[in-house]
Structure 1
C-alpha cells in the first residue's frame, strides 16, 4: 500500500501546494503568469549556466522584488564579500522554478542550491539531493534549528537529512482577540468540548464564531480526520476509497453539529477565497478562521495596526490518535545538488541565510517565522503562533494528507462545503463520497 500512496502523492503534489500560503509573502504559493521581463530575469531561454567549479549557482523560488528575494540577495552579497565565494543567484519565481527545475537538473545544468516547498522538494526532487548529515554535524547546525522540521526533512529523506528548512509556517486557528474578550473567553480551547463552548459563547455575544473559504475547506476535513485516526489512515481512506470508515461519519457528524448550531458564517457555502478572510475575519464580523501563519500578513491592509491576533492548534478529539502536539507545520527548504562540486560552500551559504541576522531579517521583512530558534523575537503579527510551533513535536503534511487523491479532491471540497453550510447532513456527505469513489 505504501507504494500506492507514494505514487498518488507524487501525482498530486503539484496541485496541492498552489493553495498553501508560504512564510508571510502573502502569495508565495500562487502561480504567476510569465512575462518577457520575467523570462529574462530567470536566465533567458533555459537559464543554463556551465559549471565553472568556482561559482555557486542558486535557483530561488522567489521573485527579486519580494521581501524574501530582497533579503536573500542581501545575504548572498554579504556572504560573497565575507568569503570571496561567488554566487550566481537566479530568481525563478514559483512558475519558473516548478516548470524548469526538474528538466534542468535532468539535463545536467549546474544548479548547486535550490529552494522550494518542503513537501514538493521531499517528493519530486529527492533523487537529486545531497546527503547533508556530515555537513550539518560539522557546522553544529541542529543546535539552533527547529527539531520537528528537521525530523520532517529526515523522514522524507528516508531517515537521512537531505534538506534544510527555512521560513516555517503553521496551519491553525487564527482568531480576533478583541472578539474573544467581548464574549468573555479567557482561555484558548485545547479540546473539542472546549472549542464548542468557545463557539457558543461567541454566538451568545452576537458574534459569528468562524468562517471558511473554498480554498482551504479540505484542510478542515484533513485535520479533523487526522486527529481521529492519524494521517496515514487519512491517506488510506482517500486513496483507496474507504469512505465507509467510521471515522468519516464521526468527522461529518462533528461538522454537522457546528453547522446546525450556527457556528459557521452564513456565507460559508458561497465564500470563494479570499472572501471569508478578507470580508469577514479581517473586518471583525467573524472571530476564527483555520488558516496558515501567512494569514496576518495577507490581510494586514484590512485589519489595520490595532488588530490583535490569537492562535491555537486544532483541538484534540476524544479518543483521538493524536493531540495538539501534532500539527500541519511546513516550511520552504534548501536542497544541495548531489552533483555539486562545492558542497561545503553551498551549505555555508544556506546556514548564512537561515541563521542569525539574515534569518531574523527575513522573518521581519516578510512577517514570517524565524527558522533559527535563538531568534526569539518574532514579528508581532505572527507572535501568537509561537506557542503552537513550540508545542509541535510531530507533523502533518499539507491538509493532513486528505488531498493526496487529486481525482477525489473536487468532490470532497464540494460536498464538505455543503456540510459546513448545513445543506446536507453527515450521512449524505458520506454517501456522496462513497459514490464518488466507485
Structure 2
C-alpha cells in the first residue's frame, strides 16, 4: 500500500491553497446545527483492514458499549476530505473526520472547521487528566492555525533515514552527524528511492535547505513572490548536493524509473541500504521485510548547524463547523485519547502517538528518541499547507527533474526562480 499519512498525500495534493482557515465556534458543542444526540457519523482516512483501521474500530466499539452513542463509521481512505469538501458549507456528510494537518489547512474552506480548543479542557474518559494535558504543548502548537485548533492530533509522522540495524550495528552509537560523514557512508552503499512519488523526492532538497538555513527558510523562499530569495547561495548549494546524489550513482539502480514500492521493497530485502522515509515505514514494509530485519533510523545529518530538528506532520480529528452532532463527536475524540486506546493504536501500528506516555513499539523507538532530543518542524516546512498549489504546479515538477538527474542544480534554481515569479504574477 502507499503511505498511510502525509508523505504521498502531500505529494499528490492538487487543491489550491486557500487563505488560512477561519474557524467557527470554540469546541463547546453548542451553537447552530449541533445536537448532542445518540449517534454521529465518522469518516476516516484509513481503509478497511489496515492496522490503523483495526485499532480504531475496536476503540469505537468500546466507546459505543460504554456510552450508548452509535458511531456510523465509514473507512473512506486517503481522499476522505476531498469527498467531504462539497458538503462542508451546508450539511456536512460526516460529523467527524481524520486527516493530516496540511490537508486540513489547505483544503477546508474558511469557516469550515470547528475550533476544538474547548476539547482540550475535557477530561479523558476514565482519567483525571484533560485532553490538553495528555497532548504535549509543542504538538498542540504544531497543529494549530492562528492560535486555534481546527484539528486535534492523535498521531505524527516524521522523516528520518532508515536502515537495517542487523546489517549496520555500529550506526546505533555512531550515526553520521554531518553531510560529509553521511556521504562517506552512503558512498559505499545505496540509497533507495521510489522517484515516482514526488513527495519522497522533495524530502531530499527540503531537508538539505533546512540543514543549511534553518526552519522557515524553504517556506520563506516559497512565499517570495519575486523569486529573489532563491538567489541565496545556500539554496543552490542544496540543489548541487541533490544533483551529486542523482548523478553520482548514490541511488539504487532503477530508482528513476521505479514504481512504488519497488525501491522500498529492495531496501526491505537488503538490496539497498538506506532510505529517507516517514515513520510509517516499519508498518508498511513488515509484510515483505527480510527475516530478522531490525528497523533503525537516524536523523537527517546537519549541514552547517549543530543539529537539525525532525520534519514531522500531525494527523488528527476534525469536526466540521456545521456538523449536526458536535458534542457526540467531541465526546468520541476525548474517549480516543484514553491511554488504553492510544496504546492499542501504538501496538497495532508502531506509530508516534500524540499521547507520549504510551509504551513505544521497538520499531518506533529511534524516531521517538530523535523527536524528543531534536524537536520538530512542520513537514515540507509548512509549504504544502500554505502554498499547496505552488507546491504542486511549480516546485514538484522541477524537483522531480533534479532528483532524477534530468535537470542540473543551476537550471533547477533558475527555473524555480522564474517560474515562481510567473506563478505569483498570474495572481495565484
CA gap 1:30/1:57 in 2 versus in 1, 3 angstroms: farther
CA gap 1:299/1:358 in 2 versus in 1, 3 angstroms: same
- Confirm whether residue 372 of structure 1 aligns to residue 355 of structure 2: yes
TM-score by length of structure 2 reads 0.78
Give the whole-Å Cα distance in 2 for the aligned partners of 1:187 and 1:83: 51
Q: 1:295 aligns with which of 281, 290, 300?
A: 281
Counterpart position of 2:263: 276
Counterpart position of 2:237: 250
CA gap 1:105/1:412 in 2 versus in 1, 3 angstroms: same
CA gap 1:164/1:282 in 2 versus in 1, 3 angstroms: same
- Confirm whether residue 317 of structure 1 aligns to residue 303 of structure 2: yes
- Confirm whether residue 165 of structure 1 aligns to residue 153 of structure 2: yes
The alpha-carbon deviation at position 171 of structure 1 amounts to 1.2
CA gap 1:409/1:345 in 2 versus in 1, 3 angstroms: same
CA gap 1:148/1:393 in 2 versus in 1, 3 angstroms: farther
Q: 2:403 aligns with which of 409, 412, 417?
A: 417
Greater fraction of residues in helix: 1
The alpha-carbon deviation at position 100 of structure 1 amounts to 2.6
Give the whole-Å Cα distance in 1 for the aligned partners of 2:60 and 2:163: 37
Counterpart position of 2:29: none
Q: Is the 8 A contact 1:172 1:311 kept in 2?
A: yes
More moved, 185-194 vs 329-338: 185-194
The alpha-carbon deviation at position 434 of structure 1 amounts to 4.7
Task: Give the gaps of 5 or more residues in structure 1.
Answer: 1-17, 32-48
Q: 2:336 aligns with which of 353, 365, 381?
A: 353
**For 2:402, what is the secondary structure of its paired residue?**
helix
The alpha-carbon deviation at position 289 of structure 1 amounts to 0.7
Instruction: Give RMSD over aligned pairs.
Output: 3.3
Q: Is the 8 A contact 2:64 2:70 kept in 1?
A: yes
CA gap 1:98/1:434 in 2 versus in 1, 3 angstroms: same
Q: How many equivalent pairs are there?
A: 384
CA gap 1:152/1:30 in 2 versus in 1, 3 angstroms: closer
Give the whole-Å Cα distance in 2 for the aligned partners of 1:178 and 1:308: 6
**For 1:119, what is the secondary structure of its paired residue?**
helix
Q: Deviations over 1:235-254 (max 9, x none)?
A: 34345444433222111233
CA gap 1:91/1:277 in 2 versus in 1, 3 angstroms: closer
- Confirm whether residue 111 of structure 1 aligns to residue 99 of structure 2: no
The alpha-carbon deviation at position 108 of structure 1 amounts to 1.5
Task: Give the gaps of 5 or more residues in structure 2.
Answer: 13-32, 124-129, 423-428
Counterpart position of 1:391: 373
Give the whole-Å Cα distance in 1 for the aligned partners of 2:373 and 2:300: 12
The alpha-carbon deviation at position 99 of structure 1 amounts to 3.4
Counterpart position of 1:144: 134
Give the whole-Å Cα distance in 2 for the aligned partners of 1:100 and 1:236: 32
CA gap 1:153/1:414 in 2 versus in 1, 3 angstroms: closer
Give the whole-Å Cα distance in 2 for the aligned partners of 1:272 and 1:92: 24
Counterpart position of 2:176: 189
Q: Is the 8 A contact 2:35 2:326 kept in 1?
A: no
Q: Structure 2 matches for 1:227-246, cutoff 5 A?
A: 227-230=211-214, 232-238=216-222, 240=225, 241-242=227-228, 243-246=230-233
Q: Deviations over 1:280-323 (max 9, x none)?
A: x11213221111111222222322341012111212221x5x84
Q: Is the 8 A contact 1:218 1:399 kept in 2?
A: no
CA gap 1:293/1:89 in 2 versus in 1, 3 angstroms: same
- Confirm whether residue 75 of structure 1 aligns to residue 59 of structure 2: yes
The alpha-carbon deviation at position 356 of structure 1 amounts to 1.4
Counterpart position of 1:61: 45
TM-score by length of structure 1 reads 0.76
Counterpart position of 2:83: 100
Counterpart position of 2:17: none
CA gap 1:359/1:57 in 2 versus in 1, 3 angstroms: same
CA gap 1:266/1:233 in 2 versus in 1, 3 angstroms: same
